[in-house]
Structure 1
Amino acid sequence: MTRDYPDPELLIRTSGEQRVSNFLIWQLSYSEFIFNSKMWPDFDGEELKACIKTYQSRQRRFGGL
């Protein structure tokens, strides 16, 4: 089902929950996670920009140390 698509680079989880609930568990193995405390209806463009800025500041190691 997802083999024709690249794995996600970033997962943003809203509502403050720090779990993925078995969502795309294999595809997310090298993804970056951002857990945002805002609820989905309150998550706006500014929040999205802040999450992307945080993602851009990270150094991805793809499982390395």
Structure 2
Amino acid sequence: GVKKLFQEYEKGKIDIESLDERTFARYLDTGGLPDPDLLIRTSGEMRFSNFLLWQIAYTELWVTPVYWPDFKRSHYLQALKDYQKRDRRYGGR
């Protein structure tokens, strides 16, 4: 996304002074899509590996020790049930 944004800037199509979060987000591969509500992390890893860092600021995280090839519908339903119980505050207390 940043590379494409810079190319548009070089062509004079973008004014850097007017660049804001919304404009930047449009240049990401996920531009135009809503941010995820729930991120399911398999293999028990407690890291994101630079995955969707911009988009997951207010995303709920559900971690399971199950590896991706072994992840079944039952695990998915478990994640959804857990998510339903959460009180989302979007960064607030």
TM-score above 0.5, yes or no: yes
Over the matched positions of the two proteins, sequence identity in percent amounts to 51
Q: Structure 2 matches for 1:40-59, cutoff 5 A?
A: 40-59=68-87
Alignment RMSD, CA only?
A: 0.6
2:53 aligns with 25
Flag structure 2 segments of 5+ consecutive residues without an equivalent. 1-28
Flag structure 1 segments of 5+ consecutive residues without an equivalent. none
TM-score under structure 2 length normalisation? 0.68
How many residues matched?
65
Highest RCO, 1 vs 2 (Cα 8 Å, sep ≥ 6) = 1
Instruction: Indicate whether 1:10 and 2:48 are aligned.
Output: no
Structure number with larger C-alpha Rg: 2
Poorly superposed stretches of 4+, deviation over 4 Å: none
TM-score under structure 1 length normalisation? 0.96
